Structure 1
Amino acid sequence: MKSTIQILHVVTNAGRSKKTGNDYDMRMAQCIVHKVNKDTGVIEPLVGELLLPQRYMDTVPGMYEVEFEVAISQQKRVESAVSLLTPIPLKATSGVSLAAPKVV
């Protein structure tokens, strides 16, 4: 399944597990999912966090097409995980700005 997302900020969560003593380093992308309503065709924004796989830890804010695959969590739950994250180049004529609005 493919979706368009806008990553606004990436939060680092790193440390050492008290239970196992193993080091961990996770990146949570705070993002907006641009979900298209199948009935109306209208884009309905959803706000949430996305766990970035290790190969995408250096991802910067921007627009991306993300492809998901089925995965099993540590709690044995069926979930989706990022399998492919592709940057969407900005078009100069699109009129859409990803920059933060100016505060006056």
Structure 2
Amino acid sequence: MDKLYSTDKIMTYVGNSEENCKELLRLFAETIPVELDKLRAEITNKNWEKAHEILHRIKPSFEIMQIKYGSEEFIKLNNNISSKIDLDNSLELYNNMKNHIFKAIEEIMVDINKD
């Protein structure tokens, strides 16, 4: 089965240290759900500037994790909000993205707790 995320970029970043890679995976799994909850609140409140700030803040995490599914929604949501286009679909894009990300986080947690 293909992984829902990749550690390739992380391993390069941490000099192939498995321990440091696991720590970054753990950090991602702990912080991203909190940020996604904040993002949902801002989208629901149509606070597009704050929503864009959150997306901008978490973008590097998504890029380094190479989430297999959800990245397309992330990019589209980020582009739509920053350009203020198709905002009515923001919550639907968010929900699709979040579902994919949470599946990846579940897989990450299983992987880092194998030892």
Q: TM-score range by the shorter chain?
A: under 0.3
Larger radius of gyration: 1
Decide which structure has greater strand share. Answer: 1
Give TM-score, length-normalised by structure 2. Answer: 0.24
Query: Which structure would you say has the larger RCO, counting Cα contacts within 8 Å and 6 or more residues apart?
Result: 2
Decide which structure has greater helix share. Answer: 2
Give TM-score, length-normalised by structure 1. Answer: 0.25
